[in-house]
Amino acid sequence: MEQQSNQLTAEPFTLDGISSSDPDGHVPPDVLINGTKGRIPRWANFPQKPLPGEDEDYTELYVYWEQNKETTKIFCERYTYIDDKPEFEFDLTAEHMKEDGVAEIYYLLLGSNGNPDESPRRKLTIVHALKPTLRRPAFPNADLWGYINCKTVPWVGEKIQVEIVPEAADIFQDEDVCVLVWQGFATLNGSPPVLTPQHTFREIIDGDKPVKGFVIDIPFDPFIRPMFANHSAIARYTILRRGVPIYASHPGLVKIDRVESGCPEPCGGGPLK
């Protein structure tokens, strides 16, 4: 009876943004860029408050990453009765997922009785870059030379519009997800040095969007403000279908000039300090 009471049960865990129904565990581009959180449900025999004179019970939690025949411990923590809650989080970072290929992630519970209990494994398929096949995003409000400036409508101090142009029939399907990646540069040609990290914007493709295309607004703060004179931004997107990346676009470039002669600071406000 004592052995039974100490038995642990490692249940399946979830990873935010990665579909549990996809057996191959394709990792969406925004998760590859930003990382995610794993969520482990409270195990059945969580440590209880000890009675007077008893030793404190505990469970040690280890999370492992296995890729290319190498196993790496990416998280470890010890829990006692004071840590009790419905679920326990761990970070899965972009650094963990830096290499393309197939990986497995799982966790191990080790109780004070020394009995290990391993969770079901999650397969993850990591592909950082699909070959671009779709048309580049457009900037419908840029001038003939590809600039967004202080006279652009809508005003640059409010937003920049990025247009996802319609593709051939059946390329976009209802409920596909467009993940747009935006990044600013201190050059006019979208080359380093960078002025912003990569920011992602998600849009569900529904209604008439597959046929007519659609526009994604990039707000001024904090996505545009760092670019003001002889600067630029690159926008590219990936199409996800049921969480799986299936198409990628060529990059679209827009030049940004927020400096007007005689004005003490760029229109919309100066760069972030």
Sheet architecture: strand order including 87-92: 14-15, 36-41, 87-92
* Residue linked to tokens 């006019």: 188
226: nearest Cα among 188, 269, 189 = 269
Mean pLDDT of 236-248: 84
Asked if 37 contacts 16 with a C-beta cutoff of 8 angstroms, the reply is yes
Give the tens place of pLDDT for each residue, 119-142: 999 999 998 878 899 999 999 999
Give the tens place of pLDDT for each residue, 170-203: 789 888 999 999 999 999 999 999 999 999 999 9
CA–CA separation, 250 and 113 (whole Å): 56
CA 255 to chain centre: 26
For 4, phi then psi, to 5°, come to -65, -40
What pLDDT does 6 receive? 45
pLDDT at 69 over 80: yes
pLDDT at 39 over 90: yes
Residue 273 pLDDT grade (very low, low, confident, very high; cuts 50, 70, 90): low
Element (H, E) at 211: helix 209-212
What pLDDT does 4 receive? 40
